[in-house]
Amino acid sequence: MRLLLACGVAALTLAGGASAQDYNASPNFGDITLAPGFTPDPHLISLRAGGDISATGAGSGCSGYITRAPDFRLNWSGKGSLNLKISVLSKTDTTLVVNGPNGEWYCDDDGGEDNNPLVTLGSQAGRYEIWVGTYSSGSPQPAVLSISELNNF
């Protein structure tokens, strides 16, 4: 009985670890520190969107498939007077998942231009982990992540 219980606990632990986003993992496509008034604006990052983990576990309104590690990390160094806008441009149907410095999750599917995702945040200083997902699971797809105070796609 103890062996069966131990195997069940181990299986649950492995399953939970395999399906969760790890905001402390090294980002797949790098990181940057930006401050209000940064140039050039927008800051653009080419990456491959998608993964094998459902983003629904990140919170209400989150959708698509992402990787365990964030795709990109933004270290935002100060409080500006403009909102921070994170968006994606892709020919495939992409989604956006952002973990803010306050531990809250922000998600979008079609809120930006041409049904691309867009998350508009205040200008709270701190670390933002960003995942770019695809609406359907499958092979990673090319995408461009945009970080801006002024523009979005």
CATH code of the domain occupying 21-148: 2.60.120.380
Task: Render pLDDT for 36-90 as a digit per residue (tens, 0 to 9).
Answer: 999 999 999 999 999 999 999 888 889 999 999 999 999 999 888 999 999 999 9
Q: Please tell me the pTM assigned to this model.
A: 0.85
pLDDT band at 106 (very low <50, low <70, confident <90, very high): very high
Select the more confidently predicted residue: 152 or 143.
143
Q: Return the exposure string of 69-102: e unless at least 16 CB atoms fall within 10 Å of the residue's CB, then b.
A: bbbbbbebeeebeeebbbbbbbebbbbbbbbbee
DSSP state of 31: E
Residue ranges per domain, the chain? 21-148
Task: Render pLDDT for 7-24 as a digit per residue (tens, 0 to 9).
Answer: 333 333 333 333 478 999
Strands (DSSP E) contained in 43-137 are 43-49, 53-54, 65-66, 72-76, 84-89, 94-99, 105-108, 118-121, 126-134
